[in-house]
Amino acid sequence: MRKLLLNILPGGLIRFYKDAKKRRKQNQRQQLAQANQTVTEDDIVKALQDAGVKHNEVLMLHSALSKLGFVKDGTETVINAVIRVVGEQGTVMMPSFPAVGFNYDYLKTNPVFDVRNSPSKMGAITEAFRKRSGVERSLHPTDPVCALGKQALYLTKDHVNQLTPYNENSPFYRLCELKGKIVLMGVDLDSLTNLHTLEDAVDNFEYPVYHPMVFTTKLVDADGTALEMKTKVHNPLYSKKRRCNALLPHFEEAGFLKQFKVGLANCIIIEAYAMHQWMLENYRTKGITMYTPDGK
């Protein structure tokens, strides 16, 4: 319903709705702070450990800081907590996409993606993480990922010059390969980018999820060198048909998805490899996808 309203309401009403929602969240956080109900780094660490995150693992985090409640020191607390949970030999990764909305519309504006300077539009935590010393960022015009830790370079290094962003050379597929975990902190399966690994892993995927246009995009790499690469983007017509959250009971029943809480936020943890294998099997046998979560 929320997505439908955002598609049909005029811009002024959408801004009013977002501003009102933001004010409600700020008031709620102030009330929590005054009531001494603060989310600390230790709280987040314990919640993640209890949910099953272990030392030395690769962890992909999708997040919404505003959903957590009042977090002491904000973004830095969350980032420090996830780094602490996986430890020095682990790896943390986050999406750092430079646009919200449909990438088809975004690339029509002919943007230049600067891997060092283009901000992440995936929330305050991802943008603070992008700016951290030592963070690697994949060179991709629409779906770049940031990573810090032992596997950071491996995860990010080959994303450039891939025609589709979720193929076997992408950080998303390599997360599966490394049997990492995905945490959705205050967001739902609509934010689960790894769902797209199915589409890129299947030859002749049944649904035309990619737009037929191939874009030539402009990039600036970490050395400041200007580059061009070709890429495809998801077709907005099919993106509107996604029913990601309808997959949740399937994933929960299969045993690779669990729900938990951090502060006020509903959270989800997923085993990336198990989810990818389940999607492959159930697409082939039952026709289950994010577009057809009940199968065919």
- The reported pLDDT for the residue numbered 214 is 98
The pLDDT tens digits of the residues spanning 85-135 come to 999 999 999 999 999 999 999 999 999 999 999 999 999 999 999 999 999
Q: Distance (Å, rounded) from C-alpha 85 to C-alpha 122?
A: 22
Weakest-pLDDT range from 2-6, 200-204, 227-231: 2-6
- The reported pLDDT for the residue numbered 286 is 97
- The reported pLDDT for the residue numbered 22 is 65
Q: Distance (Å, rounded) from C-alpha 168 to C-alpha 197?
A: 8
State both tokens at 202: 């299947």
Per-residue burial over 111-134, b if 16 or more Cβ lie within 10 Å, else e, is bebbbeebebebbebbbbbbeeee
Q: Is 38 or 182 the better-scoring residue by pLDDT?
A: 182
Please, are residues 136 and 81 in contact by the beta-carbon 8 Å criterion?
no
- The reported pLDDT for the residue numbered 228 is 97
Helix (H, G, I), strand (E, B) or coil at 241: coil
Q: Decide if pLDDT at 141 tops 50.
A: yes
Q: Give residue 145's Cα distance to chain centre.
A: 9
Please, are residues 147 and 122 in contact by the beta-carbon 8 Å criterion?
no
Among residues 131, 84, 82, which one has the least CA distance to residue 262? 82
Q: Is 50 or 16 the better-scoring residue by pLDDT?
A: 50
Q: Decide if pLDDT at 35 tops 50.
A: no
CB atoms within 10 A of CB 273: 16
Q: Calculate what percentage of the chain has a pLDDT beyond 90.
A: 86
Among residues 211, 213, 62, 218, which one has the least CA distance to residue 142? 218
Q: Decide if pLDDT at 2 tops 60.
A: no
State both tokens at 189: 């399966």
End-to-end Cα separation, the chain, in angstroms:
24
The pLDDT tens digits of the residues spanning 39-50 come to 999 999 999 999
- The reported pLDDT for the residue numbered 36 is 46
Q: Decide if pLDDT at 4 tops 90.
A: no
Q: Decide if pLDDT at 14 tops 80.
A: no
Tokens 């992408």, located at residue: 170
- The reported pLDDT for the residue numbered 49 is 98
The residues that bridge with 268 in the sheet, in sequence order, are 184, 259
Angle made by CA atoms 71, 61, 207, in degrees to the nearest 5: 135
- The reported pLDDT for the residue numbered 193 is 98
